[in-house]
C-alpha cells in the first residue's frame, strides 16, 4: 500500500467517524437522561445474550433476560447510564455498527458473527473497546444469572442453606 493511499483511507475514515458522531449527537440529546431500552437496543441484546451466555434461551426467557439487563442499567448512576446509552446508540447506527463491530443488522447477525465481534473487542489493543466489551459482558452475565431459574444451566445449586437463612 502506498503512503498516499494510506493517508487518504485514514482521512476518509476520520471523516466517516466525525459524520457518524455528528448524526448520533443530533439524534440523541446531550444531557444525561435515564436509560430507556428502545427496539434497536432490544434487538442488539437479543443477539448478544446468546453469544455471551453460550445458551439459546426460549423467547420468554430471552425477553425476561433483556428486561433484567434494562433493569440493571436503570439501577446504575446517571452518568454510567449515559455512557451505556451512547454505546447502545453507536452499536445501533448502521455505519458505526459496521465500522466498530463488523456485524450486519442485529436481527440478521449470526451467533458466529456476534461471537467474533465480542472476541475482537475483548482482545482489542484499544482499552476503550475492551472496557465496552467488559461492560456489556458483565451487564448481560450479571442480569442473566441473577434469576435463579438460570442457575440449572450451569449446574449451580444455589446459595448454601446456612447463608440464605
54-104 pLDDT, tens digit per residue, is 888 889 999 999 999 999 999 999 989 999 999 999 999 999 999 889 999
Looking at the predicted structure, is the pLDDT value of residue 1 above 80? no
pTM, 2 dp: 0.75
Same domain, 139 and 103: yes
Q: What is the pLDDT of residue 124?
A: 94
Least confident of 12-26, 64-78, 102-116, 139-153: 12-26
Asked, for residue 105, whether it belongs to a domain, the answer is yes
- Angle of helix 127-144 relative to helix 78-92, nearest 10 degrees, comes to 100
Neighbours of 101 (CB within 10 A): 22
Domain count for the chain: 2
Asked, for residue 123, whether it belongs to a domain, the answer is yes
Q: For residue 127, give its domain range.
A: 31-152
| Average pLDDT of the residues of the chain | 88
Residues 6+ apart with CB under 8 A from 21: none
Same domain, 48 and 69: yes
18-47 pLDDT, tens digit per residue, is 888 778 777 776 666 788 889 999 999 999
Same domain, 23 and 98: no
Looking at the predicted structure, is the pLDDT value of residue 165 above 70? no
Asked, for residue 161, whether it belongs to a domain, the answer is no
Helix (H) or strand (E) holding 32: none
> Is residue 100 within 8 Å of 90, Cβ to Cβ?
yes
Q: What is the pLDDT of residue 41?
A: 92
∠ CA 38-42-131, rounded to 5°: 95
Q: How much is the CA Rg of the chain, to the nearest whole Å?
A: 18
Asked, for residue 163, whether it belongs to a domain, the answer is no
Same domain, 1 and 36: no
> Is residue 103 within 8 Å of 109, Cβ to Cβ?
yes
Amino acid at each position: 500500500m502506498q503512503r498516499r493511499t494510506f493517508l487518504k483511507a485514514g482521512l476518509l475514515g476520520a471523516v466517516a467517524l466525525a459524520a457518524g458522531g455528528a448524526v448520533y449527537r443530533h439524534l440523541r440529546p446531550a444531557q444525561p437522561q435515564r436509560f430507556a431500552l428502545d427496539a434497536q437496543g432490544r434487538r442488539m441484546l437479543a443477539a448478544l445474550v446468546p453469544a455471551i451466555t453460550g445458551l439459546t434461551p426460549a423467547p420468554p426467557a430471552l425477553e425476561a433476560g433483556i428486561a433484567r439487563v434494562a433493569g440493571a442499567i436503570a439501577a446504575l448512576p446517571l452518568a454510567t447510564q449515559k455512557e451505556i446509552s451512547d454505546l447502545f446508540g453507536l452499536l445501533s447506527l448502521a455505519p458505526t455498527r459496521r465500522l466498530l463491530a463488523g456485524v450486519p443488522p442485529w436481527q440478521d447477525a449470526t451467533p458466529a458473527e456476534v461471537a467474533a465481534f465480542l472476541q475482537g473487542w475483548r482482545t482489542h489493543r484499544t482499552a476503550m473497546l475492551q472496557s465496552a466489551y467488559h461492560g456489556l459482558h458483565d451487564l448481560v452475565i450479571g442480569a442473566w444469572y441473577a434469576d435463579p431459574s438460570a442457575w440449572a444451566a450451569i449446574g449451580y445449586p444455589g446459595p448454601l442453606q446456612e447463608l440464605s437463612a
